[in-house]
Structure 1
Amino acid sequence: MLLLAVLCSSQPAGAQVLYGSIVGSVVDQSDAVVPNATITITSRETGLTRDSKTDVGGRYAFVNVLPGTYDLRVAAPGFRTLVRESVIVSINAVVRVDLQLEVGAVTEQITVSAEVATLQTDKSDLRAEITSREITNLPLANYRNFQSLINLVPGATPANFQNAVVDTPARALTTNINGTARNNNNARVDGATNVFIWLPHHMVYVPPVESIDTVSITTASFDAEQGMAGGAAVTVTTKSGTNELHGALFEYHDNQRLRTRNFFLPPDRGKAKSIFNIFGGTLGGPIVKDKLFYFGSFEATLERAGISPSPFSVPTEAIRAGNFSGLPVTLYDPLTGNPDGTGRMPFADNRIPAARISPISRRIQEKAPLPNLPGVSLGTLSNYFNSGTEKLDRKNYDAKINWNPRSALAIFGKYSRMDAPVSSKFALGEVGGLGLSRAGVGTGDTNVNIITLCHTWTLSPTLVLDSTFGFTKFDQSVVGPDHGKNIGSDVWGIPNTNDPIVTGFAGGAEQVKKACPPAAAGACYSGMPTIVHGFSSWGNIYGWQPLFRRERAYTYTTNTTHIRGAHELRWGFDVVR
């Protein structure tokens, strides 16, 4: 639990992380303050209005303002009504709008359509903002991930991918801010914590760029509400529906014909199939004008990544038969000589008699592929090439409802989902080895569901309450192509390779087997063992497989803001579990 308390002794200026603020002062033409002037802000997108009055010092403040474009209207007896149009409010930012009224009838109106932007003087934090315009219009690599643009933030190292596609299909990027560890970055989407619990340098769900409204990145002098961040506090807000119907359709395509040839690809081999498509759309609009709005987003990523790794090394047919003649190596008979290895006799002509080759070894070697390249080192190394395709079918769904039952209350609810199956095969077929993928091998199935509920309630012009609740349901399984089959013991014939042998533990092997999660269906110890020799390793070399994750995360944040004259008091707490 994180307790938040902020006391400001100057003009109220506390922008909330998920909202913005509009503050300022009202004076007349002689620069004398105008108390008790009525200030009204009206959202151009949704028609939502809020009212306030200036205090005895002519000051006013609107906190917890939903991001968007507002018209600001000022009225006071004896003065002309003043309207300031197109005041843009962003999350985690304070907009200062100081106003000067002219003497005249209230029925007279002065409209100001634009004004030069001023420097940020009402907050001490160091932050950068990326809007929907930049996110959708700038070139984006890395699966069109908005995190690519964090490269533009001062103090950020270039963003990179991390971990295997098979168990991190969201393809979150990692970066270091101001020299801090990457785990010190903290990301929230619409106020809810967004973190991959097992790999906390990842976002568990990366919102599609077409659904993002604003990204705020704070890198220094954090507000108390951002106290869980040490490197960067990244706040993402997604788009909402408005009184106008808006939508978008998009498609991004790439394939191997548009890419250069791998320098190490054998001359007689074509480029591996590589097809990349990202497509989808958004739609948002009103359900009830000025009251109820919807926004939906769908994005599909269909990737067939062609994998053309450097050549592998497999035993030649002669070596499998025990014939090492002609090679610059001398084989000694282990059954001769002394126990310490001295005095051993070499095999005649560097050949191992067929009767001395283990049946298990012979059985495994028969399943390994033969060389298909000339290779190097007399044909013993880099003599086998294989390519394949890593398959990713990822679908992201987002749905958001905004409800403004009255001017003092704004509520929204959001649901996000990601389904992302990934699959690839072993490079060496029946004897496993490396995966024909960018990392890892096998089949991964990842499902993420996120529910977010949020409200801001203006109890009075000087008292505002806001709360956010977030729930993340994360389920994942990653298994190798050999999962569920006792290949080590039943196919290769190596005793005890698929049964745990436990010594010095009272529970024995049966107790260890009970630790296998139900999702594994008792197959935790199935598959191939790893065999390491002078050639490319055989078996399932990925010791972290199989993998089964089932995580539930909760966020609850509530804050109260009280304004009294020139002071703002804000307190609350933040629970993340």
Structure 2
Amino acid sequence: MKVKFFCALYLLVAMLNAHVFAQVSTSSITGNVTDPGGAVVSGAKVTARNEATGITYEMNTTSGGTYTFSSVTPGQYAVTVSKPGFRKFTSVHNILTVGVPLVVDAQLQVGAASETVEVQSSYERIETTSAQVSDIVPENDIKNLPLNGRNPLTLLTLEPGVVQRTNNAAGSDTHVFGSRDRAHNVTIDGIDANESTVPNPQGNIQRLTPDNVQEFRTVTLDATAELGRNSGANVMIATKPGSNAFHGDVYWFHRNTALNANEWFNNYTNQTRPTLRLHQFGGDIGGPIVKDKTFFFFSYQRSQIFQTEPVSATNVGLLGAPVLYTPTLLSNGLFRLVLGTISLNGKTFTQNSPGLVDSSGNLLPGVPVCGGAVTGNCLDTYNIFDPANFPAGVTGPDPTIMAALKTLPAPNGYNVGDGVNRAVFNWNPPSKFIGPGYLGRIDHTFSPSDNIFGRYLQSYYNTELGDFLNARPEVYPGFPPLGAVGRIGKNLAVSWRHTFNPNLVNEFTFGFNRFRFNLIRVLAT
């Protein structure tokens, strides 16, 4: 019985460890310490200090001359190594990034401990601790590279091996070295941040901004065990903490129709330029609450976007746009069809075609019309409103149906459909996106052995006046849209790092991720 109990306990712990290790938001600092002859130096005191916050970690090298600081938050660190009989070694401006160890080796020189050898950025630039293929997008790139909509995760598409293609919203459309477009995993500060049905690494369901992301790493191949949940992109995002200096920004980004060119297909079909009025404004601030111990960071952004989009891009209608009856058929009941074969302008038509009419739906010159002596190879007409053609028991078109059909606009796209009885209505239906989002984070150091941080992220991104992405636009002017969408995201992360001894460090992280997606039906008023 005891054996079964301990086996069950072991399996439970193993599963919990696997779950915890799969959530990565920190990294480690490691290295070897040697003397001038290359022999290892054991018992040397090693100190790693975060240059922005002043938080310090200390330990002694092992008997093999190595040291490792585990579960350390990303940032810029100074590493100091000292031991009696040797000069003090200091390496500054070493950049620790999320998910990949920072390797800083030290070779001590014989001399007095009061003497210091200082070097800058002596860390290894080439990944030597694992075979995984990954890349870091640092804060400077996130802030300075152009972003459409201020979504920092769009930079993922610049990574080698990442291919993006359109797929009519049937998946995330992002493939990494041939993986499925749903085989991705995104974490924020070690907490899951995926949309459960279609995990899209660029979807940014929690509405992160360039101002609250410190950096993110994308692992695209040969992920290590703690990242091996998915075969596609494994994206690890680290949010920005506060520091010993106060920093803040206030911003407003604006785009409008006057700055945009019309789309090629709109020009081809004589459609107007889509409207765009985009406002994204907000700010962020961070700094110390207690210097070298407690720090805060807060960011806020609100989006107010009004835009129109070609209805052909919203996936409504059987032919790529709403299909309507031509006025000749709807008003006069004249159903037209090709009888035999019609030759026109070097082309042959055996059935109805947009090639028989001009852009206004009028028959092109030279199209033979059946009647009189012309009985074949012509365009024939059948009057469905003629009482002589009514089936038995039918007295005419249903007045309710006819009244409903006549409330619809006349078609304006005769290049789609059969040209003579059916055409489409092209226009730019509207949509409106409203969304405030905010992030708050607190970091606190109790002692060199204990530090903790908590971060909460919440965002709204609601679509009004119709939703393009989910094929719920306003199909015709003046009609209610097929629907609207309400989106709310919440993400919490709390992490506590405790050092039991130089060889044993525990990081306990918990949190939750929630993304609520409401499809709202809009009723006519």
TM class by shorter chain equals 0.7 to 0.9
1:190 is matched with 189
The residue matched to 1:135 in structure 2 has which SS?
helix
In the alignment, is residue 400 of structure 1 matched against residue 441 of structure 2? yes
Contact 1:252 1:279 (C-alpha < 8 Å) held by counterparts: yes
Query: Can you list the C-alpha shifts for 1:513-543, whole angstroms capped at 9, x where unaligned?
Result: xxxxxxxxxxxxxxxxxxxxxxxxxxxxxxx
In the alignment, is residue 44 of structure 1 matched against residue 51 of structure 2? yes
Aligned residue runs from structure 1 range 523-534, under 5 A: none
Contact 1:5 1:224 (C-alpha < 8 Å) held by counterparts: no
1:351 is matched with 385
Contact 1:15 1:64 (C-alpha < 8 Å) held by counterparts: no
2:324 is matched with 314
Contact 1:15 1:93 (C-alpha < 8 Å) held by counterparts: no
Distance in 1 (alpha carbons) for counterparts of 2:31 and 2:479: 72
AA aligned opposite 1:278: Q
In the alignment, is residue 219 of structure 1 matched against residue 212 of structure 2? no
2:151 is matched with 145
The residue matched to 2:401 in structure 1 has which SS?
helix
Q: 1:413 offset after TM fit, Å?
A: 0.8
1:472 is matched with 513
Aligned residue runs from structure 1 range 91-490, under 5 A: 91-115=98-122, 117-141=124-148, 143-158=149-164, 163=169, 174-201=173-200, 202-262=203-263, 263-264=265-266, 270-309=272-311, 312-321=322-331, 323-324=333-334, 328=338, 349-353=383-387, 355-371=395-411, 380-382=421-423, 384-423=425-464, 424=466, 426-429=474-477, 441-482=482-523
The residue matched to 2:163 in structure 1 has which SS?
coil
Contact 2:336 2:381 (C-alpha < 8 Å) held by counterparts: no
The residue matched to 1:320 in structure 2 has which SS?
helix
With over 3 angstroms needed to count, the CA separation of the structure-2 counterparts of 1:131 and 1:174, relative to structure 1, is: farther
Distance in 2 (alpha carbons) for counterparts of 1:415 and 1:406: 24
Query: Can you list the C-alpha shifts for 1:34-68, whole angstroms capped at 9, x where unaligned?
Result: 21111111111111111111122222111112111
Query: Can you list the C-alpha shifts for 1:157-193, whole angstroms capped at 9, x where unaligned?
Result: 03669749xxxxxxx9641111010221111111000
Distance in 2 (alpha carbons) for counterparts of 1:140 and 1:347: 56
With over 3 angstroms needed to count, the CA separation of the structure-2 counterparts of 1:410 and 1:352, relative to structure 1, is: farther
The residue matched to 1:157 in structure 2 has which SS?
strand
Contact 2:461 2:488 (C-alpha < 8 Å) held by counterparts: yes
The residue matched to 2:182 in structure 1 has which SS?
helix
Contact 1:208 1:396 (C-alpha < 8 Å) held by counterparts: no
Percent identical pairs in the alignment equals 26
In the alignment, is residue 3 of structure 1 matched against residue 15 of structure 2? yes
The residue matched to 1:60 in structure 2 has which SS?
strand
Structure 1: any 5+ residue segments left out of the alignment?
7-13, 165-171, 331-345, 436-440, 486-577
Contact 1:147 1:159 (C-alpha < 8 Å) held by counterparts: no
Q: 1:457 offset after TM fit, Å?
A: 1.3
Q: 1:218 offset after TM fit, Å?
A: 1.2
The residue matched to 2:334 in structure 1 has which SS?
coil
The residue matched to 1:314 in structure 2 has which SS?
strand
Scaled by the length of structure 2, the TM-score of the pair is: 0.77
With over 3 angstroms needed to count, the CA separation of the structure-2 counterparts of 1:405 and 1:284, relative to structure 1, is: same
2:38 is matched with 31
Distance in 1 (alpha carbons) for counterparts of 2:272 and 2:17: 63
Contact 1:277 1:301 (C-alpha < 8 Å) held by counterparts: yes
With over 3 angstroms needed to count, the CA separation of the structure-2 counterparts of 1:297 and 1:325, relative to structure 1, is: closer
Contact 1:125 1:223 (C-alpha < 8 Å) held by counterparts: yes
AA aligned opposite 1:400: R
Structure 2: any 5+ residue segments left out of the alignment?
1-11, 313-320, 341-379, 467-472
Contact 2:23 2:191 (C-alpha < 8 Å) held by counterparts: no
Distance in 1 (alpha carbons) for counterparts of 2:165 and 2:247: 32
Q: 1:297 offset after TM fit, Å?
A: 1.2
Q: 1:137 offset after TM fit, Å?
A: 0.8
Contact 1:25 1:97 (C-alpha < 8 Å) held by counterparts: yes
With over 3 angstroms needed to count, the CA separation of the structure-2 counterparts of 1:356 and 1:91, relative to structure 1, is: same
Contact 1:274 1:389 (C-alpha < 8 Å) held by counterparts: no
Contact 2:336 2:382 (C-alpha < 8 Å) held by counterparts: no
Contact 1:367 1:431 (C-alpha < 8 Å) held by counterparts: no
Which range moves more in the overlay, 306-315 or 17-26? 306-315
Distance in 1 (alpha carbons) for counterparts of 2:177 and 2:412: 50
Q: 1:273 offset after TM fit, Å?
A: 2.4
The residue matched to 1:136 in structure 2 has which SS?
helix
The residue matched to 1:207 in structure 2 has which SS?
coil
Distance in 2 (alpha carbons) for counterparts of 1:112 and 1:56: 25
What's the RMSD between the two structures over aligned residues?
3.2
The residue matched to 2:214 in structure 1 has which SS?
strand
2:377 is matched with none
Q: 1:15 offset after TM fit, Å?
A: 12
Q: 1:249 offset after TM fit, Å?
A: 2.7
With over 3 angstroms needed to count, the CA separation of the structure-2 counterparts of 1:176 and 1:308, relative to structure 1, is: closer
Query: Can you list the C-alpha shifts for 1:242-282, whole angstroms capped at 9, x where unaligned?
Result: 01011123333222212222443599864342112323222
Distance in 2 (alpha carbons) for counterparts of 1:348 and 1:71: 88
Contact 2:102 2:124 (C-alpha < 8 Å) held by counterparts: no
